[in-house]
Amino acid sequence: MKHFTLKGEIRQKGNKAVIKAFRRQGLVPCNLYGQGIDNILFTVVEKELKGLTHTPASYIVDLVLGDKTYTAVAHEYQWHPVEDTCLHVDFLAVSEDKPIAINVPLKLTGHPVGAQAGGKFTQSARSLKVSGLMKNLPDELELDVTPLELDKRMVAGDVKVEGLQILSDKNTIICSVKTTRAMQQAAQEAAKNA
């Protein structure tokens, strides 16, 4: 999986006024926690954070705080209810020898058999949550949708990737091919004329 480097400034615990002052300066308050390390409070520049938040890709984050670098994943984002701004990020420290839970984007390939027959293809999920060791995490999960027939769907439970455990609900619909109204009408007409 690709890495994303993010520089941060360590900060002290502050009240609401201090946090609001950070945000006015274009900084996003963050928190790093995980096994074997004490919680670290820090801020990052909002513009730099957008490289992580405004992309469909998933990254392992290399956090540079002072003279130390921590390997982490973005665990939780807090967003402004109206504006498209990130208010707070929780990062979870990770290591190469323990499984990591992360959302991985889906890349669908092929042309479904059902769509070739006139059905409507719909993609419902853009990513799946998986767990695996850092070395096994792919940049994206590539799924071939060619065998998908009319009125069939692909769910998270159908996905098997060696070295990864799929954490998304096994009934999560990834994509489907539905019969269109025009096809249903044509079938009804054919049945009447038969």
Domain with CATH 2.170.120.20 in the chain: 101-188
Domain with CATH 2.40.240.10 in the chain: 3-95
* Fold adopted by 101-188: RNA Polymerase Alpha Subunit; Chain A, domain 2 (2.170.120)
User: Which numeric CATH code is attached to 3-95?
Assistant: 2.40.240.10
| Verdict on whether the full-model pTM lies above 0.85 | no
The contacts of residue 78 (CB under 8 Å, 6+ apart) are 86, 87, 88, 89
pLDDT tens digits, the chain, 194 residues: what are they?
Answer: 889 999 999 988 878 888 888 888 999 999 999 888 889 999 999 999 998 888 888 899 999 998 999 999 998 899 989 988 899 999 999 988 899 999 999 999 999 998 888 889 999 999 999 999 988 889 999 999 999 999 999 999 999 988 899 999 999 999 999 988 877 777 778 778 76
